[in-house]
Amino acid sequence: MDTEACRNVKIRVQHLCKSYEKLEVLRDVSLDVFEGEVVCIIGPSGGGKSTFLRCINRLEEYNSGTVYVDGQNISAKGVNINTIRRNIGMVFQHFNLFNNMNVLNNLMLAPVDLKIYSKEEAKALAMKMLDRVGLADKSNVYPDQLSGGQKQRVAIARALCMRPQIMLFDEPTSALDPEMVGEVLEVMRELAADGMTMVVVTHEMHFAREAADRVLFMDDGQFLEAGDPDSFFGHPKNSRLQDFLKKVL
Amino acid sequence: MSKILSTYGPLLLRAMGQTLLLALYGLFFACIIGMIVGIMSVIKNRVCKGIALVFVNLIRGVPMIVLAYFIYFGIPYLWNTILAIGGLTLSALEAGTICLALNCGAYMAEIIRAGIESVDIGQMEAARSLGLPYWRSMQRVILPQAIRTMIPSIINQFIITLKDTSILSVIGFPELVNTAKNVVSKTFMSFQTWAVVGVMYLIVILILQQAAKIVERRLKRGHRSL
Ligand SMILES: Nc1ncnc2c1ncn2[C@@H]1O[C@H](COP(=O)(O)OP(=O)(O)OP(=O)(O)O)[C@@H](O)[C@H]1O
Ligand SMILES: [Mg+2]
């Protein structure tokens, strides 16, 4: 583990607890994600995966514990969460493209509005990112005219326009027709190959197996098992993970 | 009928003008009140939410005629006699405008709240996750989408408010109903007069409804029309 100790920790989650009213959703969860690492989280529905992911950019407030992004405690006093979020791209299950603007404006909104880039720079960047996800010809189209797979690729491009160092994916392919899953996973694979730090909640076991550096199993608000894909899928130790894998594979 | 039209037609038309003027003033301020209170009721602040809730329920729970009397007679009495601060007089136009603005504003607030809440929560989350602050997300993403769904209800509310101006005849504002009453007391031709007044309202409201249809159709045609 010496090599890991030298690596840069991008996300450090310590003793995270979160509950809705009486329902404990996250129970003392800790995780370090290193620079350039791809971490996949799998687990049954209701296990707390989305909640965990959404705590990392404080889309969800947590009850106790600490989240550090790039060494910065995101809930510390005086921290501007908006500045931290610029560095964390998020991709949602239901895409959440802005319906009131076309693809190009979806991509340009935040960079221009936050004065990170001039209009011209933002446009050039947006076109570059669209090209990267293979949708340069769709820049003037509105979201409701895109297929699911195209929407999700635009959503990824939109997040990339903020030049984030971290990307969070919450079941990015779960709302897609099967024939469109591949194109989105392909974009994610390329991102991973480019060294992006990624946390991916997914039900795509093949993707987790090929693309992840580490896979985690979350159930009942805890990580019950973690490991490299080969041992995780090859020799699962936790009995609930064994059951889960039997069902989904 | 023709006597009413030829003798009192211009008078009634002018009264219609006053009615529209009052409605316009009222609606203008109602939009401002509705926007502020509507947004107050969706933001995550208990105090704001509470104030908005009390305001809306208070106004909706009091008949407009009571509100009109209260503002026109009650408030100056409170100010000048009970508190003895002095010299406040409200013209019928001022009191009427306040009354309409409050009344219509409360309903507009509800329309605006419902409109904002009808926008998928994911839109706000996506905007916030990019680092956009709450208000910018509201302005650039949520409100443009909310307004689309609100417009038909808002136009409907305009029509209701236009009709509600007739209630303000009780505080003596020379709008259409008040003027018609005077005409009837002079001529005793109540059938003819009220028929003419009814048709006048009808025409204006039909025009408004037509406009509403056109706007709705344009909104349906796609997002580009905004
Ligand atoms: N806003 C909320 N209010 C109350 N309970 C919630 C809320 N959001 C989530 N929960 C509950 O928290 C638990 C964890 O939810 P979460 O969405 O994190 O699970 P998940 O692992 O992502 O599941 P899925 O695979 O279905 O997406 C669930 O029991 C869910 O019902
Ligand atoms: Mg989930």
CA neighbor of A225 nearest in space, from A47, A66, A42: A42
Share of chain B above pLDDT 90, in %: 76
Give the closest-approach CA distance of B140 to chain A in angstroms.
8
Residues framing ligand 1 (Cβ under 6 A) = A 20, 23, 25, 43, 45-51
- Residue B213: the pLDDT is 86
Give the closest-approach CA distance of B151 to chain A in angstroms.
15
Tens digit of each residue's pLDDT (9 = 90 or more) over B71-122: 999 999 999 988 888 888 899 999 999 999 999 999 999 999 999 999 999 9
Q: Give mean pLDDT, residues A176-203.
A: 95
pTM for the model stands at 0.88
Predicted complex ipTM:
0.93
Q: In the predicted model, is pLDDT for residue B138 greater than 80? A: yes
Distance B205 CA to ligand 1 centre (A): 49
Phi/psi for A34 (5° steps) reads -95, 160
Atom of ligand 1 nearest to the CA of A93: 27
Residue B14: count of CB within 10 angstroms of its CB = 13
- Is B223 in contact with A113 (Cβ distance < 8 A)? no
Distance A49 CA to ligand 2 centre (A): 6
Q: Do B109 and B52 touch, CB atoms closer than 8 A?
A: yes
- Residue B222: the pLDDT is 55
- Is B226 in contact with A96 (Cβ distance < 8 A)? no
Share of chain A above pLDDT 70, in %: 98
Residue A246: Cβ-neighbour burial (10 angstroms; 0-12, 13-18, 19+): exposed
DSSP string, B172-189: T--SHHHHHHHHHHHH--
Q: In the predicted model, is pLDDT for residue A2 greater than 60? A: no
- Residue B216: the pLDDT is 81
- Nearest chain A residue to B146 by CA: give it: A100
- Residue B127: the pLDDT is 98
Do strands A38-42 and A214-219 pair parallel, antiparallel, or not at all (unpaired)?
parallel
- Residue B221: the pLDDT is 66
Q: In the predicted model, is pLDDT for residue A4 greater than 80? A: no
Distance A26 CA to ligand 1 centre (A): 10
- Is B129 in contact with A99 (Cβ distance < 8 A)? no
The pLDDT mean for chain B works out to: 91
Best mutation site among A19, A22, A51, A169 for ligand 1 pocket (most ligand atoms within 8 Å of CB): A51
Would you state the structure tokens that stand for residue B40, as one six-digit string? 């107050």
